[in-house]
Structure 1
Amino acid sequence: MIRKPQAGEYNEFYATYIDKVEGDNIIKALREQLSSFTAFMSGISEEASEYAYASGKWSIKELLNHINDTERIFAYRALCIARGDKTPLPGMDQDTYQSASPTKTRTFSSLLEEFVAIRTATLFLFEDMPESDSLQVGTASGFPVSVRALAAMIYGHCAHHTDVIKQRYL
C-alpha cells in the first residue's frame, strides 16, 4: 500500500491536489478514480468535448489530453525516483505541451481510451511497489518530491480537473 504523503514531501503548490486524496490508501483511490472518471467522461459526447467555457480556455477534450500528459510525466518521475535515479527531473510547460499535441485531430473517445491505458500502467507501477520505494525522494521541477507524493498528485490532478469540468463546462 502507498500511503498519503506528509507535508514536506512535496512543494506546497501541489497541496491542493494531495488534499483531494480521501483516506490513506492512494492505490485504492487511483483504482476507484479509474472507474468513476471513465464513467463520468463517457457521458460527454464528442461534440460537447469540443466546448471551452471561455476564449483562450481549453476544451474538455484538451483538458483530457492534459490529464493524460500530466499523469505520464508524474508516473515517469515516480519511476525514476523509486529506482534511485538522482537526476533532477525537469518541469513541464503545460501550454507548450498542449500546443504541440495532435489533440485536435483525435477523437474524445480515443483520448479516454488512452486515459484508461495510462492509468492501468500507473496502477501496475504502484501496486507492487515496496513501501520503502514510495518513500524515496528526488527532485522534480526544482523541488524535492517523494514517490508517494507523486502518486497522490496523479490522483489529485485528475480530481481537480474533474471538478473544473463539472463547475465550468457542464
Structure 2
Amino acid sequence: MEKEEQKHNPGFLEYVYKLTEGTDLKEALSLSLENIDRIDIAQLKRIGLKTYEAEKWTINKIIQHLIDWERVWCFRAILFARGEGSIPDAHDQEIMAKNSNADELSIERLIEELRVVRQSSILLFDSFNDEILNTNCEFFEYEMPLYAIGYTIAAHQIHHLNIIEERYIPLDQ
C-alpha cells in the first residue's frame, strides 16, 4: 500500500475518542475494569441465550468477542512496542464468534475471564513508557499511535455494554 493511501487517525478512532473523552489512557482502562465489576450477572443469567433479533450474538458471544479482541489488540500492541514489525492479516469477528463455544460457558466464567484479561491489559499498557505509547503503528490501511490501541480496548467495551443495555436488558422485562 502506498504511504499516501494510509488512513491517519482512522475513522473509528473518532468514535473511540468520543467514548473515552475526558480520560487519560490509564483512567480509561481503570474505569473499564470498574464497569466490568458493576455488571449485573444475575440479570444477564435471566436473559440467558436470548437475542433481540434473529442472527444476533448472545450476550455470552458478545463477552467472548470482547475477550478475544482485547487479546488480539494486545498482541498487536506488543508487536509494535517491541518493534517486531510484522502484523498478521486481519481477523474476522463473525468467524471467530461462530467458532467460539461461548454459549456453552457460564456468564460468570466469561465475566471473570474478561476481568482477568483487562487486568492483564492494564499491566501491559502501564509497562509502556511515553516513547512506546507514542510509537506509530501502521497496519492494514491504518496508521495510529500505540496508545490508541489501549483506548480502543476501553471504547470497544463501552460500545458493547451500551448495546447490551439498550437491546438485551429489555429482554429481562
Q: RMSD of aligned C-alpha atoms?
A: 1.7
Q: Give a deviation string over 1:94-141, Cα, whole Å, max 9, x none.
A: 000011111121111111010011001001101131011001122333
Structure 1 CA distance for aligned equivalents of residues 89 and 168 of structure 2: 31
Q: 1:41 to 1:135 in 2, by over 3 A?
A: farther
How many percent of aligned residue pairs carry the same amino acid? 22
Question: 1:50: which partner in 2?
Answer: 49
Amino acid at match of 1:44: Q
Higher alpha-carbon Rg: 2
Structure 2 CA distance for aligned equivalents of residues 9 and 76 of structure 1: 21
Moved more, 19-28 or 99-108: 19-28
Q: Give a deviation string over 1:121-164, Cα, whole Å, max 9, x none.
A: 00110113101100112233332232111011001100011111
> How far is the alpha carbon of 1:66 from its aligned partner?
0.6
> How far is the alpha carbon of 1:43 from its aligned partner?
4.6
Structure 1 CA distance for aligned equivalents of residues 43 and 132 of structure 2: 38
Q: Give the TM-score of the pair, scaled to structure 2.
A: 0.86
Question: 1:85: which partner in 2?
Answer: 84
Query: Is the counterpart of residue 132 in structure 1 residue 131 in structure 2?
Result: yes
Structure 2 unaligned spans of 5+: 1-6
Q: Give the TM-score of the pair, scaled to structure 1.
A: 0.88
Query: Is the counterpart of residue 159 in structure 1 residue 158 in structure 2?
Result: yes
Q: 1:43 to 1:132 in 2, by over 3 A?
A: farther
Moved over 3 A (4+): none
